[in-house]
A and B are shown apart, each in its own frame.
Chain A
């Protein structure tokens, strides 16, 4: 029985298609549709099926999804900004101004900045929604803990990105923030208990060995600080947050999918 196949069906049963998409063919049954999601490295983190009432905007606000979407926007626009920005005291501010005023579609910098603000807001709202719907309760309590780590990483990404324009606002914000690190209990030179970490007269927590120094790479804000924050902002923290995001999304599926209204 040879029925006339459409062009799409011909493509979907060809070798190129079936070699790229495991299973191949046009998904017809419920099982095949499920396998499409399970067989894709990108989609398999996501639940294969969602209860209709759980994707109501009224229930989820779509804040988790929006946070991830904004993260993708920030990643792409951030990579683009890296093509022009040089993290040195001599060039940082002028490169930022150049990006804003001369580079074609310099709005990329605005997108990155406003996106950063928006992501903090959506992550907070996502957390608020999860709390108000009781979605942090067992078996999802571990995923809540992962979410708290993701919130902290989001704020750290904001904090490290704040310094990069190297203007007065940035420098003083980081001056204040890094002095707080100096007041860390035990690990900050100005913090309580720092004198306890000593052997005899040798104090291990000093101005050149405390948490503040580790953060800013020197006794004062300077070239080392800018480079340290740049590397953390562009490589270190995104690397860590992506690992935790993968776990976060995967655990949603493993913990029985998105929580449903009671």
Chain B
């Protein structure tokens, strides 16, 4: 039986007395200081662990984003027809350019319900979202479906050379009364 081999090495009397004495005389750590060192040790461990988890969390928020630039030149005001929704920047920049009798505004193509892209339906004269059926007028005002607020407009200005510049970093929301901001609408 293989079990018999194990028994011989273990001595029932424990370590020899000399070794015990040596361990006792060699340590000058009192019970009290042992506990204070223990708490310092635990605090250091908790701090290090907490620090690492903080690092881990921060790690997921990079300082530099490799995302497309959020401003673009959108040509000259005369490139846009009065009364029409212009689709030329829809795919590339996510912007509809709309010109009316007074000027031009840049509408965001992001549905205010859950972020899909609605389609412009020229005959029905509305933006219709394919995801959940939200509908918006040509102005961007919502009138049907689950969308809780109008489409957003982007900052639209003229450059020195007469070209339109759309800045998507700055958005204007109708429900906050921001559409009356001079940079939310380009008078032509």
Contacts and interface: CB of A to CB of B under 8 A. Distances in A.
Interface stretch (A37-45, A76-84, A191-199, A216-224): A216-224
Given A175-B114, A175-B115, A176-B115, A222 B67 contact: yes
Contacts of B61: 208-209, 213-214
Contacts of A172: 116, 131
Contact of A176 (B60, B67, B114): B114
Contacts of B116: 172, 175-176
Contacts, number: 29
Contacts of A176: 114-116, 131
Contacts of B62: 217
A172 B62 CA distance: 24
B18 interface: no
A219 B115 CA distance: 13
A220 B67 contact: yes
A205 B61 CA distance: 12
A179 B65 contact: no
Contact of B115 (A179, A208, A209, A214): A179
A243 B126 CA distance: 52
Contacts of A218: 65, 67
Nearest to A171: B116
A243 B37 CA distance: 33
Nearest to A214: B60
B131 A219 contact: no
Interface in B42-92: 60-62, 65-67
A179 B67 contact: no
**Interface extent on B, as a size class?**
10 to 19
A217 B115 contact: no
A176 B132 CA distance: 11
Nearest to A209: B61
Overall SS of chain A's interface:
helix
Contacts of A179: 114-115
A155 to B, nearest CB: 18
Interface in A207-262: 208-209, 213-214, 217-220, 222-224
Contacts of A213: 61
A180 B115 CA distance: 10
Interface string B110-125: 0000111000000000
Interface string B123-135: 0000000010000
Nearest to B132: A176
A175 B131 CA distance: 11
A176 B61 CA distance: 21
Nearest to A18: B2
B152 to A, nearest CB: 12
B66 A224 contact: yes
B153 to A, nearest CB: 17
Nearest to B62: A217
A258 B134 CA distance: 50
B126 to A, nearest CB: 20
Nearest to B130: A172
A217 B60 contact: yes
Contacts of A219: 65, 67
Interface string B18-41: 000000000000000000000000
Nearest to A223: B66
A154 to B, nearest CB: 23
Contacts of A214: 60-61
A19 to B, nearest CB: 11
Contacts of A208: 61, 65
A180 B185 CA distance: 30
Nearest to B94: A220
B145 to A, nearest CB: 14
In the complex, the 3 A-B pairs of residues with the closest C-beta atoms, listed nearest first = A176-B114, A175-B115, A179-B115
15 contacts: A172-B116, A175-B114, A175-B116, A176-B114, A176-B131, A179-B114, A179-B115, A209-B61, A214-B60, A217-B60, A218-B67, A219-B67, A220-B67, A222-B67, A224-B65
Given A209-B61, A219-B65, A223-B66, 6 more contacts: A172-B116, A176-B115, A176-B116, A176-B131, A179-B115, A214-B61
